[in-house]
């Protein structure tokens, strides 16, 4: 059903019928109008909305994790918004599930639903179907009273604060308090040490809550959000947003922690707001005897150190083999009177080790040390390469497990245990270890002194990065971390602890299969299909796609693309002379979503269901959505173009903040933090009043932003805006009607331009949400216009909205970008000038070919894919070994691989195969 909104009458189907008629001449053409002309089936099963088999992304099922949430798409019209769903396991047993809508089709039917399961979900396949959901035996319950929000999973009761410093007041299991006073800690250093002048002092800040909101209250899943800042005295800074996730019947909970940097660090100055340490801290009551207080700290794999605060193994006198074995196993020791009395009478002489510290200051090494207590010396307790970020503290009467996900990948990180020999110990998970150098976010060189456009453009001409005073600032960037906590009724067995470690390292994820994702027609219907090796030509392209993904995965490891701010991104361009990515050369360094590698990776996952691709894309989504985008300040809603630092380049643009890059992860997982990021972009059209993205290349240098006549491009700019509006409309967010009208009005007024999309840009009115219709036709085509998600978005919009004029305007753009200059001039009166990225644009040929039934376009799609720019069949398609003095670390290189080409090859290969796989030359 087509949407009808005020001011947007239903469009005539005459042009659509003509398009469908042309498509009908070819059996391979899949015109949308043909699909709409087919009468709807009577029942959900007949419409492809029957039972869906859900599986786990990795083997092992839910394991020790508290729960999992999965997004499932549905075909248009299959289910009403209020539909309930039931879940069963392989034996037909009902599994408790909580369901809520994530998105709706324009007719109001369900497009995406989220489904949460708890510990009873098992480790096998699950079947999701319409029906009455089973209620959990132990429901998660939420109650708000006074200054506390209480969440009861049926196993653990957690009290969250609504004011003060403690986000978590207490964690109780039965009658035993397992942990309390969970708060955030921040160490600020006001002066950075740029030499050897001595140690700098630092200030301690703690969290202060400003708002606590219950976002979900069960019965299977509850979510509580806590927002605030870090406080010392009168100063409050470094905003945080923390969500706690609880599942029915779980003994654990998950924490998603986000900080947004709002300090000051100026280039060339040693004073400022330098973060020395950033962490999450809990107090853990200690009730057991010192020899029954157990320390467990994860090492590599599922390895761990297993000790007691007061060890009775390895002594000169032996308490007995059974006693030693029990302590190592974490079991309560028998009464000391039953031991060898030569030990029992000398217990007071055995040291009590109360403090432990694990430091992971790089991706390649951690150290573990311990001491008896504050004021005494540390001794080395071991070390290794990559720690799990997991610890446990407790005893037979109960204990607290804690873990930080992506621990070594987002170094410098650390774990602390303090005062385990006392009545109340403290555990701290350091997101930024205080043992590392302070967080230095100053701009990296003095190019900021180039304060004229001429100087800035010279920088662009030599290092591909333009420098403008005040623009290389980290103010407003953010970072999200994930943590897990368990309230154990006793010290877990080594096997149970290993399962907890595995949950921290790889959070279990329930998934819908590729067939469902493809069949539901989401994310650009028809643009991706399951891998197909049925012919040699198809198999070769599939091999190339696998090669490129594997190469980038290997490069992350070889080049150590890790770190708190860096993990999840990849580099932009390679320097064959140095056998090195251009990490230190202006705009050739970090990629920051340039030419949409995010979309390539997500489409690669959607069609394959591969876990390794999902995890790679997940890390990229977390990074690019937080670090490469501003969330506070005058540039909130804009992202930063690729550069040596993620925020360095002075080009702040909508195309990097593009909601398209976040949609996939959000709808596949229901992740609320990513939902926040997408909702925040709904009003990002207002940023064009603050900063003109074309200011460096304008010929009309006297241009001044006008609220009712903003110059906005139909490619990189509009694609970022419309993705935010479309997503808000689908999600039915607070401003969905405004967002819907923005989608429709901009589509209508782009289509009404004299040259449609080829016009290039228009004057946009913030108050009406429309582009002014230009008086004269203009050709304003850029090779960048369609490479930031435009094709994928237009495929969605054309499927959703009945607007033939818009379709034809977009098909025309597709027809003529890759056309000859003579063909362009014949259609528009002038050619498009010098263009690039023809291979990437071959997917536009393929899309328009299928939609219109144009055989010539279909042939041109494969011609441009195989024989234009980008990667070709003559590309090496192999790596070379590099070692010795030519490289820092031995490994492999493919010096012909560049991320721009990779992203566009990946997208063109996936989409061309899906659209025209059976019409390959």
Calculate mean pLDDT across residues 744-764. Answer: 98
Strand intervals (E) in 580-700:
580-581, 639-640, 652-653
Q: What is the DSSP letter of 858?
A: H
**pLDDT tier for residue 27 given thresholds of 50, 70 and 90:** very low
Q: What is the DSSP letter of 330?
A: T
Q: Report the C-alpha gap between 847 and 916 in whole angstroms.
A: 9
Q: Comparing 28-32, 93-97, 458-462, 572-576, which segment has the lowest mean pLDDT?
A: 28-32
| 16 has pLDDT over 60 | no
Q: Report the C-alpha gap between 918 and 858 in whole angstroms.
A: 11
| Helices 611-626, 672-680: inter-axial angle, 10-degree rounding | 40
Task: Look at residue 469 in the predicted model and tell me its pLDDT.
Answer: 86
| 271 has pLDDT over 60 | yes
Calculate mean pLDDT across residues 652-681. Answer: 97
Task: Look at residue 456 in the predicted model and tell me its pLDDT.
Answer: 73
Please write the tens of the pLDDT for every residue from 302-312: 999 999 999 99
Burial 749-787 (b: 16+ CB within 10 A, else e): bbbbbebbbbbbbbbbbbeebbbeebeeebbbbbbbbbb
**Token pair in block for residue 688:** 């064009």
Task: Look at residue 842 in the predicted model and tell me its pLDDT.
Answer: 98
Report the SS3 class of residue 696: coil
User: Cβ of 614: how many Cβ atoms within 10 Å?
Assistant: 24
Q: Report the C-alpha gap between 251 and 233 in whole angstroms.
A: 36
Whole-number mean pLDDT of the chain?
93
Please write the tens of the pLDDT for every residue from 541-564: 999 999 999 999 999 999 999 999
Task: Look at residue 770 in the predicted model and tell me its pLDDT.
Answer: 98
| 459 has pLDDT over 90 | no
Q: For 203-340, where are the alpha helices, taking DSSP H only?
A: 321-329
Please write the tens of the pLDDT for every residue from 175-225: 999 999 999 999 999 999 877 655 678 999 999 999 999 999 999 999 999
Please write the tens of the pLDDT for every residue from 362-390: 999 999 999 999 999 999 999 999 999 99
**pLDDT tier for residue 861 given thresholds of 50, 70 and 90:** very high
**pLDDT tier for residue 50 given thresholds of 50, 70 and 90:** confident
Q: Report the C-alpha gap between 286 and 533 in whole angstroms.
A: 60
**Token pair in block for residue 11:** 């469009």
459 and 586 in contact (C-beta within 8 Å)? yes
| 700 has pLDDT over 90 | no
Strand intervals (E) in 563-670:
574-575, 580-581, 639-640, 652-653
**Token pair in block for residue 343:** 């030990």
Q: Report the C-alpha gap between 504 and 510 in whole angstroms.
A: 16
Q: Report the C-alpha gap between 182 and 207 in whole angstroms.
A: 10
Q: Report the C-alpha gap between 243 and 225 in whole angstroms.
A: 4
614 versus 4: the higher-pLDDT residue is 614
Q: Report the C-alpha gap between 328 and 308 in whole angstroms.
A: 8
Task: Look at residue 826 in the predicted model and tell me its pLDDT.
Answer: 98
Calculate mean pLDDT across residues 848-866. Answer: 98
Residue matched to tokens 């179907």: 129
User: Cβ of 454: how many Cβ atoms within 10 Å?
Assistant: 7
| 584 has pLDDT over 70 | yes
Q: Report the C-alpha gap between 760 and 813 in whole angstroms.
A: 10
| 534 has pLDDT over 50 | yes
Closest by CA position to 490, among listed 420, 392, 396: 396
Task: Look at residue 704 in the predicted model and tell me its pLDDT.
Answer: 87
Helix then strand then coil, % of the chain, to nearest 5 = 30, 25, 45
| 33 has pLDDT over 70 | no
Task: Look at residue 457 in the predicted model and tell me its pLDDT.
Answer: 77
Percent of the chain with pLDDT over 70: 93
Please write the tens of the pLDDT for every residue from 293-348: 999 999 999 999 999 999 999 999 999 999 999 999 999 999 999 999 999 999 99
What's the distance, CA 919 to chain centroid? 36
| 1 has pLDDT over 60 | no
């Amino acid at each position: 059903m087509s949407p009808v909104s005020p001011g947007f009458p239903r469009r005539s189907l005459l042009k659509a019928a003509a398009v469908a008629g042309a498509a009908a001449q070819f059996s391979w053409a899949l015109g949308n109008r043909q699909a709409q002309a087919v009468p709807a089936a009577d029942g959900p099963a007949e419409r492809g909305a029957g039972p869906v088999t859900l599986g786990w992304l990795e083997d092992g099922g839910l394991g020790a994790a508290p729960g999992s949430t999965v997004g499932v798409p549905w075909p248009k019209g299959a289910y009403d918004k209020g539909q309930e769903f039931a879940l069963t396991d392989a034996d037909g047993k009902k599994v408790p599930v909580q369901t809520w809508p994530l998105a709706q089709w324009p007719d109001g039917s369900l497009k995406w639903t989220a489904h949460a399961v708890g510990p009873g979900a098992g480790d096998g396949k699950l079947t999701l179907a319409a029906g009455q959901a089973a209620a959990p035996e132990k429901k998660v319950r939420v109650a708000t009273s006074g200054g506390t929000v209480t969440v009861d999973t049926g196993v653990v009761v957690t009290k969250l604060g609504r004011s003060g410093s403690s986000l978590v007041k207490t964690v109780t299991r039965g009658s035993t308090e397992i942990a309390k006073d969970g708060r955030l800690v921040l160490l600020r250093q006001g002066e950075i040490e740029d030499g050897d002048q001595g140690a700098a002092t630092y200030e301690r800040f703690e969290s202060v809550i400003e708002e606590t909101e219950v976002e979900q209250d069960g019965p299977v899943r509850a979510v509580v959000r806590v927002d605030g800042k870090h406080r010392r005295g009168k100063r409050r800074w470094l905003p945080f947003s923390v969500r706690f996730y609880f599942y029915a019947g779980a003994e654990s909970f998950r924490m998603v922690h986000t900080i947004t940097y709002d300090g000051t660090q100026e280039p060339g100055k040693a004073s400022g707001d330098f973060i020395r340490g950033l962490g999450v801290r809990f107090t853990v009551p200690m009730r057991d005897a010192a020899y029954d207080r157990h320390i467990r700290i994860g090492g590599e794999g599922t390895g761990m150190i297993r000790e007691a605060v007061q060890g009775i193994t390895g002594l000169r006198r032996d308490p007995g083999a059974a006693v030693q074995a029990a302590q190592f196993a974490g079991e309560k020791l028998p009464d000391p009177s039953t031991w060898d009395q030569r030990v029992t009478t000398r217990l007071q002489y055995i040291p009590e080790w109360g403090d432990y510290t694990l430091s992971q200051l790089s991706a390649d090494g951690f150290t573990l040390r311990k001491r008896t207590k504050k004021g005494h010396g540390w001794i080395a307790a071991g070390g290794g390469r990559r720690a799990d970020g997991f610890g446990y503290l407790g005893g037979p009467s109960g204990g607290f497990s804690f873990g930080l996900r992506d621990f070594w990948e987002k170094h410098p990180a650390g774990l602390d245990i303090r005062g385990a020999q006392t009545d109340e110990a403290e555990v701290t998970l350091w997101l930024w270890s205080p043992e590392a150098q302070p967080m230095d976010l100053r701009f990296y060189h003095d190019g900021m002194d180039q304060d004229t456009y001429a100087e800035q453009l010279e920088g662009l001409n030599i290092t591909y990065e333009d420098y403008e005073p005040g623009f290389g600032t980290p103010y407003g960037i953010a970072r999200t971390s994930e943590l897990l906590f368990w309230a154990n009724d006793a010290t877990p067995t080594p096997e149970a602890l290993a399962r907890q470690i595995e949950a921290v390292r790889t959070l279990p994820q329930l998934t819908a299969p590729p067939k469902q994702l493809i069949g539901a027609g989401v994310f650009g219907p028809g643009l991706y299909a399951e891998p197909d090796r049925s012919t040699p030509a198809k198999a070769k392209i599939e091999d190339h796609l696998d090669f490129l993904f594997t190469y980038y995965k290997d490069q992350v490891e070889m080049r150590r693309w890790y770190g708190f701010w860096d993990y999840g991104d990849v580099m932009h361009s390679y320097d064959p002379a140095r056998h090195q990515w251009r990490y230190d050369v202006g705009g050739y360094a970090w990629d920051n979503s340039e030419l949409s590698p995010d979309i390539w990776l997500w489409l690669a996952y959607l069609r394959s269901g591969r876990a390794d691709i999902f995890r790679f894309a997940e890390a990229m989504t977390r990074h690019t959505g937080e670090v490469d985008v501003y969330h506070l300040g005058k540039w909130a809603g804009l992202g930063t173009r690729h550069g040596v630092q993620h925020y360095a380049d002075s080009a702040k643009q909508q195309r990097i903040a593009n909601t398209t890059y976040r949609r996939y992860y959000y709808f596949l997982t229901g992740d609320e933090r990513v939902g926040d990021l997408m909702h925040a972009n709904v009003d990002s059209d207002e940023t064009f009043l603050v900063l003109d993205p074309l200011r460096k290349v304008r010929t009309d240098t006297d241009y001044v932003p006008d609220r009712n006549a903003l110059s906005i491009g139909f490619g990189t700019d509009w694609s970022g805006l419309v993705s935010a509006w479309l997503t808000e409309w689908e999600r039915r967010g607070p401003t969905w009607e405004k967002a819907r009208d923005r989608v429709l009005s901009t589509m209508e007024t782009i289509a009404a331009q004299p040259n449609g999309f080829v016009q290039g840009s228009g004057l946009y009115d913030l108050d009406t949400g429309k582009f002014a219709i230009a008086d004269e036709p203009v050709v304003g085509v850029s090779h960048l216009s369609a490479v930031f998600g435009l094709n994928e978005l237009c495929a969605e919009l054309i499927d959703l909205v009945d607007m033939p004029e818009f379709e034809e305007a977009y098909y025309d753009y597709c027809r003529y970008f890759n056309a000859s200059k003579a063909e362009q001039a014949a259609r528009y009166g002038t050619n498009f000038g010098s263009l690039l990225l023809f291979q990437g644009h071959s997917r536009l040929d393929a899309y328009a070919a299928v939609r219109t039934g144009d055989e010539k376009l279909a042939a041109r799609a494969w011609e441009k894919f195989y024989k234009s720019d980008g990667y070709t069949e003559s590309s090496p398609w192999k790596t070379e070994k590099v070692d010795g003095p030519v490289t820092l670390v031995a490994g492999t290189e493919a010096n012909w691989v560049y991320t721009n080409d990779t992203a566009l090859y990946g997208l063109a290969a996936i989409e061309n195969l899906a659209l025209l796989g059976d019409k390959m030359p």
